[in-house]
Structure 1
Amino acid sequence: MSKLTGLLEAVTRLDAVWASADDATGLTREQLIAVEATIGVVQRQLDAAHVDVAARISHESRAELGSGSLAKEHGFRSAAKLIAATTGVSSGDASRLVKVGEATAPRTDLLGGRLPARYEVLRAALATGVIGVPAEALIVALLDRCRVVAGVERIAEAEALLTERAVGLGLDELRRLITRAEAWLDPDGVEPKEEEKRAKRSLTIFERDGMVHLNAVLDAETAAPVVTAIRGFVSAAFAARKDAPDPGAADADRRTVSMIQADALAVFCAHVLGCESRVPLAGATIVVRVTLDNLQSGTGSATIDGLDQPVSAGAARRMAAGGGVIPWVMGGRSEILDWGREKRLFTRPQRLALVERDGGCAMCGLPPEMTKAHHIRWWQRDHGPTDLTNGVLLCETCHHRIHDNGWDIHIDGTGTTARVWFTPPRYIDPARTPRLGGRARFDIAA
């Protein structure tokens, strides 16, 4: 099937879905979701055709053609400028079209023989419309960046894995996956980049218009205690607000998140100056996760719960030597974590094990300190046990979403290698296809 045929079929499906209404206000909820999904298919099919055209325009505008360049004949400095002007996109978007097109277009050898594309798996995914150009541009940039150091076989493995994982992910989630994938492809590159970023850390303080302005730029190692403590303070503030006897009272806490974060900084600094009272952090703890091999050898990378940027094994060692940090060494021994029904609340070791498995809210990805451990089979209604096979980390919003809208949760496997699956109700997905949740969505197997 040609790209044009696929695009026409997608447009026909869109027209059929939208045929019953003049505009979006006349669509039912089910039709809105159907139209949105079909628009995505149309956009990705259009992307597939566009990148091939962009790659060819780039080829016909290569520098060695001089004044005979296609772009120059039409009065443009480059292929990207021509594409931007004719389609109304930015130069950056046009450049991404060109780069993805060049990376996924068939090639020829010196004798004119046909060669496969540099990234055949990405080409196939684009042709079938399962992922679009913005996602492919992120993956191509990573694979090109790590191609020399990782080697052909590892790059091919990463291409297949990232293409599969990118389906159904938003760009923000994909960027998080890309960050982890880079540490996997180039583990020795984490520490030099880390040193470069650490050298750029700064905190500036100045006064203007009667206010004090703080502007912080922090590397992951420096930011970990700051982010964890402030998020914990915010969670504690919202928990206190929820438990207030009269939330509508005149003196009720109506601070925004930004206000609470500013107050947190003030409270922490006052605490350091006085050290006379404990600061509420809602159980927030810095957890640095590292494999036993990496910890012993001092090579490779580690991750910090709540932050996407990996750190070197050396940084993990330094952080573990400090106070208030729990090193989670995977592959080592740990205490017994399953407590059955003897306890109503999940213990601290159990919560840490859930953090290791879920990475935060298992459904939406909020960091661990903004979540609570919940029973999958309810404690009171279903007599569910308080153990890891019946526990899941959820933020308050996702907790209500699960219970109010008929989602099911299933834990596949046991221990910290288990996976969390969310099954939508039939009115969302008639096939009720399970969706992977937790940390497994973003982990890259070494």
Structure 2
Amino acid sequence: MRLAVQVAVQIAHESRAELGADSLSKQAGFRSPVQLIAATTGLSAGDAAGLVKVGEATAPRTDLVGQRMPAKYPAVQAALSSGALGAPAASLIVTFLDRACVGQEAGKVAEVEGRLVNRAQGLSLDDVRRLVKSAEAVLEESRLEAREHERRAQRSATMFERDGNLHLNLITPIEEGAAIKAAVDGYVTAQFQARKDASDAGEASVMGEADTDRRTVAMMRADAFTVFCTHVLGCEAEKTTLAGATVIVRVDAGDLQAGVGHGSIDGADQPVSIAAIRRMAASGAVIPCVLDSAGEILDFGRERRLFTRAQKLALVERDGGCAMCGLPPHMTKVHHIRWWQRDAGPTDLANGILLCETCHHRIHDNGWDIRIDNPPGTSKNSTGKNGTGKNGTGVSARARVWFIPPPSIDPTRTPRLGGRARYDIAA
């Protein structure tokens, strides 16, 4: 991949505009170096442009008197050269830094670059995108509110009929669309639960073929809009069943009081400004989760088996959703690290972890270990095999969740970072 980047930037250099008809790309019959690279490598034009961008940002430079200078982004260059970072991930980081570094101090940009490169190693491209979104809150915090106003001015909803179908296209800022997403996802979750309950009860075997629910997720989402709009128009249904349809906004108490900083919405990557959070707090469907504020007691020891909703909200602050694969909170359940029956594990926060059903079974069935490292002054560390661990009380948003693969997957059993810290540039 490093060689591909070097070749791409050299092709771009030999095809620069001032060469005119003598440029390499024009001599080869292409209008631009991006088209030449895309045609010869089989990449899309966007991926080819990414290679050129990364190459230009990591190539050695010279000043006006011809003296050599380091690359524009030396940390990206070093990671790319060593193979620790791939070109697609490097392209995401470079694109963000090019946009965000305007007006920023060079030292701050270099610090964020180093942290991004270090944290991006070993992550999927989708996870790198989430990491870059987290970095926006560091370099572009002062611009968040202005960009929210820009996005709000771009909101639109279009409707038209074609071939007997109504086509909808909705664009809305994330701080307003979060309620829509939570409601629709809640409806879909409820439908899947109803399908599972029917299967468990043996109803599927006696139901007719036409009555079997074979809807896809996309179909269920479409049905959700129909159900919600029909309900608003005055249908006879007394209640629309939703599962986990709550918008949770997280913000530091000091930032909220001072009116500075930023916050986040569970299930969304885009950071939001304090002004947007204050607007959202006026909605009855939004629960503001102010960190470090007094709240109800969250630890219940062995007095109850199931974790409460308040406990789940607290764990979302640490885990962000499924601590292993990153699915949003409403698609997870709180599971005991030390099993309730086998290990007599307590229903305490230090013994809880958010997992989706798939990851829960993977951990139980395949021999994964879990380790939770809490910062000094908080609860004790919790480690466990197949979900076993040491007891403790409380939970810290700064805690780190580690998943340790079984020897059959990784003979070195190198821990893999999970939870919210995986995507948090400040963690």
TM-score normalised by L of structure 1: 0.84
CA distance 1:242–1:88, change in 2 (3 Å): closer
Q: Which residue of 2 aligns with 1:102?
A: 56
Q: Which residue of 1 aligns with 2:231?
A: 271
The whole-number CA distance in structure 1 between the counterparts of 2:262 and 2:129 is 18
Q: Which residue of 1 aligns with 2:390?
A: none
Structure 2 counterpart SS, 1:207: strand
Structure 2 counterpart SS, 1:415: coil
Deviations 1:175-224 (A, max 9, x none): 12212211321012111221111122222233333333322222102211
1:158 to 95, 112, 131: 112
Q: Which residue of 1 aligns with 2:407?
A: 426
2:219 to 235, 244, 259: 259
Q: Which residue of 2 aligns with 1:212?
A: 166
The whole-number CA distance in structure 1 between the counterparts of 2:27 and 2:167 is 52
The whole-number CA distance in structure 2 between the counterparts of 1:94 and 1:202 is 32
The whole-number CA distance in structure 2 between the counterparts of 1:110 and 1:179 is 35
Question: Residues 303 and 310 of structure 1 are in contact (CA less than 8 Å); yes or no, is this contact kept in structure 2?
Answer: yes
Q: Which residue of 2 aligns with 1:342?
A: 303
Structure 2 counterpart SS, 1:417: coil
Q: Which residue of 2 aligns with 1:439?
A: 420
Q: Which residue of 2 aligns with 1:122?
A: 76
1:62 equivalent in alignment to 2:16: yes
1:20-35 alignment runs, 5 A limit: none
Question: Residues 388 and 415 of structure 1 are in contact (CA less than 8 Å); yes or no, is this contact kept in structure 2?
Answer: no
Deviations 1:266-310 (A, max 9, x none): 332333344862322223321011122331233332211112222
1:312 equivalent in alignment to 2:273: yes
Deviations 1:299-324 (A, max 9, x none): 33221111222222111101112102
Question: Residues 149 and 186 of structure 1 are in contact (CA less than 8 Å); yes or no, is this contact kept in structure 2?
Answer: no
Letter in 1 for 2:160: F
Give the deviation of 1:76 after TM superposition.
4.0
1:172 to 114, 117, 126: 126
Letter in 2 for 1:164: N
Give the deviation of 1:407 after TM superposition.
1.4
Q: Which residue of 2 aligns with 1:182?
A: 136
Give the deviation of 1:48 after TM superposition.
0.6
Structure 1 counterpart SS, 2:170: strand
2:287 to 310, 323, 326: 326
1:412 to 367, 373, 398: 373
Give the deviation of 1:433 after TM superposition.
0.9
Question: Residues 252 and 291 of structure 2 are in contact (CA less than 8 Å); yes or no, is this contact kept in structure 1?
Answer: yes
The whole-number CA distance in structure 1 between the counterparts of 2:230 and 2:22 is 69
Letter in 1 for 2:408: Y
**Structure with more helix by fraction:** 1
Q: How many residue pairs align between the two structures?
A: 400
Structure 1 counterpart SS, 2:263: strand
Q: Pairwise CA RMSD of aligned residues?
A: 2.0
CA distance 1:78–1:206, change in 2 (3 Å): closer
Deviations 1:36-89 (A, max 9, x none): xxxxxxxxxxx1112222223333333334455444454544333333344343
1:281 equivalent in alignment to 2:262: no
1:351-430 alignment runs, 5 A limit: 351-413=312-374, 414-430=395-411
Structure 2 counterpart SS, 1:203: strand
The whole-number CA distance in structure 2 between the counterparts of 1:276 and 1:72 is 66
Q: Which residue of 1 aligns with 2:5?
A: 51
1:197 equivalent in alignment to 2:151: yes
Letter in 2 for 1:346: F
Deviations 1:360-417 (A, max 9, x none): 1111111111111111111111111111111111111211222122212222114222
The whole-number CA distance in structure 2 between the counterparts of 1:54 and 1:267 is 52
Q: Which residue of 1 aligns with 2:382?
A: none
The whole-number CA distance in structure 2 between the counterparts of 1:153 and 1:279 is 53
1:243 equivalent in alignment to 2:243: no
Show structure 2 runs of 5+ residues with no match: 375-394
Structure 2 counterpart SS, 1:296: helix
Question: Residues 405 and 415 of structure 2 are in contact (CA less than 8 Å); yes or no, is this contact kept in structure 1?
Answer: yes
CA distance 1:87–1:416, change in 2 (3 Å): closer
Structure 1 counterpart SS, 2:401: strand
Question: Residues 198 and 218 of structure 1 are in contact (CA less than 8 Å); yes or no, is this contact kept in structure 2?
Answer: yes
The whole-number CA distance in structure 2 between the counterparts of 1:69 and 1:186 is 38
Q: Which residue of 2 aligns with 1:31?
A: none
Structure 1 counterpart SS, 2:339: coil
The whole-number CA distance in structure 1 between the counterparts of 2:309 and 2:106 is 44
Question: Residues 251 and 262 of structure 2 are in contact (CA less than 8 Å); yes or no, is this contact kept in structure 1?
Answer: yes
Show structure 1 runs of 5+ residues with no match: 1-46
TM-score normalised by L of structure 2: 0.88
Query: Between the two proteins, what is the percent identity of the paired residues?
Result: 62
1:139-158 alignment runs, 5 A limit: 139-158=93-112
